[in-house]
Amino acid sequence: MTVTASAGLSDLRSFLHGLPGVDKVGVEARAAALATRSVKATSKATAIDLAIRMVDLTTLEGADTPGKVRALCAKARRPDPADPSCPPVAAICVYPAMVGVASAALAGSGVHLASVATAFPSGQAPLEVKLADTREAVAAGADEIDMVISRGAFLAGDYNRVFDEIAAVKDACGGAHLKVILETGELGTYDNIRRASWLAMLAGADFIKTSTGKVAVNATLPITLVMLEAVRDFRERHGRVIGVKPAGGIKTTKDAIKYLVLINETAGDDWLHPDRFRFGASSLLNDLLMQRTKLTTGHYAGPDYFTLD
């Protein structure tokens, strides 16, 4: 993909506006119905381990320090020091400035290193700055880049600009995987979420991600359902499997399992894998660990039995 890739897609707007609409009441009812699935016993154990393997353990604070990031990396490698059978998480997600520290701390662990880039979270910076941001993160050792789209351009109908930016960032990523954050909480409608999903996938995204975690509405079940339908339909048409990452606001095992049910009954098997689905979360991990311990020991351990990092 090159910066001018969208020139050949002069019909991008008519394509995006020709996608079937999303009925708000219907999609929310469907998500609510799937949320009533009862996942117990052995299926709950499977779900918890899978969810742990799907966590992008995240810290995106102005106050992040090398010490904080190292601690989080240790947690990512071995989430439950008391139980070696507990799998590591999928990835650590940090700001570009912290990538070097995280890279050293994760060396040899198999845990991926994701960095937000492109003037996260607002995306309001010149393209050159965004590309430099991306290149530096990759150079410092990030193998996954979480970029934000220009919501302003999207809402103004300038789809080609959004497309070109994504394509350019994809290019700057080199071998790193690209997750495109749609910031669904700012897009306003499910129709827009479906269009933005397709736009990102056509422009070269490896993953589409709901949110930065920095706005009022982050990941929700119906939003994720619309995105799962989009990746399912995209594969049918183009043969390429794109991942999905809900981020922000997913705090409990119960929530996480609802997302796995959504995958199971919408996109299907192929997305029940950390390469295809991630949870952008921080506090979720300890709840997963607590429920995991409960399943093995039969009783709840207090919060101090799980590490705070």
Partner 1 sequence: MFEYAPAPESRSVVDIAGSYGLFIDGEFDGGKDGNVFKTVNPATEEVLAEVTSAGSEDVDRAVAAARRAFGPWSSLPGAERAKYLFRIARIIQERSRELAVLESLDNGKPIRESRDVDLPLVAAHFFYYAGWADKLAYAGFGPDPRPLGVAAQVIPWNFPLLMLAWKVAPALATGNTVVLKPAETTPLSALFFADVCRQADLPPGVVNIVTGAGDTGAYLVQHPDVNKVAFTGSTEVGREIARTVAGTGKRLTLELGGKAANIVFDDAPIDQAVEGIVNGIFFNQGHVCCAGSRLLVQESIAEELLASLKRRMATLRVGDPLDKNTDIGAINSAAQLARISELSEIGAAEGAERWSPACSLPDRGFWFAPTIFTGVTQAHRIAREEIFGPVLSVLTFRTPEEAVAKANNTPYGLSAGIWSEKGSRILAVADRLRAGVVWANTFNKFDPASPFGGYKESGYGREGGRHGLEAYLA
Burial of residue 307, with CB atoms counted within 10 A of its CB: 0-12 exposed, 13-18 middle, 19 or more buried: middle
Closer Cβ to partner 1, 49 or 158, answer by number: 49
Q: Tokens standing for 160?
A: 């080609």
Using the rule CB under 8 A, give the single segment among 15-23, 87-95, 248-256, 281-289 that binds partner 1: 15-23
Quickly list H helices, 124-220.
127-139, 151-155, 159-173, 190-203
Q: Which amino acid is at 297?
A: T
**CB half-sphere exposure, 174, CA atoms < 13 A:** 11
Active site positions, annotated: 146, 209, 245
Amino acid at 174: G
SS3 content of the chain, % helix, strand, coil (to 5): 50, 10, 40
**Cβ-based neighbour number of residue 220 at 10 Å:** 19
Contact residue for partner 1 among 40, 110, 175, 308 (CB under 8 A): 40
Which of the stretches 66-74, 114-122, 207-215, 266-274 binds partner 1 when contact is defined by CB under 8 A?
266-274
Among 8, 10, 11, 25, binds partner 1 (CB under 8 A): 25
The C-alpha torsion from 186 through 177 and 2 to 211, rounded to 10°, is 0
* Nearest CB to partner 1, comparing residues 20 and 298: 20
Query: φ, ψ for residue 73 (rounded to 5)?
Result: -65, -40
Q: C-beta of 23: minimal distance to partner 1 in Å?
A: 4
Structure-token match 């910066």, residue found: 3
Work out how close the CB of 233 gets to partner 1 at its nearest, in angstroms, rounded to a whole number: 9
Does 65 bind partner 1 (CB under 8 A)? Our answer is no
Choose one: 42-50, 99-107, 181-189, 290-298; the region binding partner 1 (CB under 8 A): 42-50
Q: Which is nearer to partner 1, 72 or 288 (CB)?
A: 288
Instruction: Provide the minimum distance between the beta carbon of 85 and partner 1 in the complex, in angstroms, as a whole number.
Output: 20
> Considering only 124-132, 162-170, 258-266, 286-294, which stretch makes contact with partner 1 by CB under 8 A?
258-266
Residues in the site for partner 1, rule: CB under 8 A?
20-23, 25-27, 29-30, 36-44, 46-47, 50, 229, 260-261, 263-265, 268-269, 272
